[in-house]
Amino acid sequence: MKKSPARTCLSSESLLPEAVARDVLIAGVKAWARRIGVADRVREIHVRPMKRKWASASTRGRLTFNAEMVSQPADVRREIIVHELVHLSN
């Protein structure tokens, strides 16, 4: 399945511009990092196009999320975010 570039995101009420959707995604990552207790281990958060996966986490605390995530439902985004953050826990 070929992915198209993420330009907008469906919210419950309207379409969000890409920049706002990216900010919402990053804010969600930061909020979940605090909840899980790994906020001090998150060094960088990036959102960019990725061909083969939804996200990745490095041992140095760099989290990279696929730009297509902004068009996914909130529960899917949450599951991906939490999955990556768990990699940073002990």
Q: What would the 3-class secondary structure string for the chain be?
A: CCCCCCCEEECCCCEEEHHHHHHHHHHHHHHHHHHHCCHHHCCEEEEECCCCCCEEECCCCEEEEEHHHHHCCHHHHHHHHHHHHHCCCC
Indicate the pTM of the whole model: 0.79
Which among 51, 50, 46, 54 is positioned nearest to 73, based on CA atoms? 54
pLDDT digits (tens, 9 = 90+) for 42-84: 999 999 999 999 999 999 999 999 999 999 999 999 999 999 9
Between 62 and 15, residue with greater pLDDT: 62
pLDDT at 3 over 60: no
Give the per-residue pLDDT at 1: 42
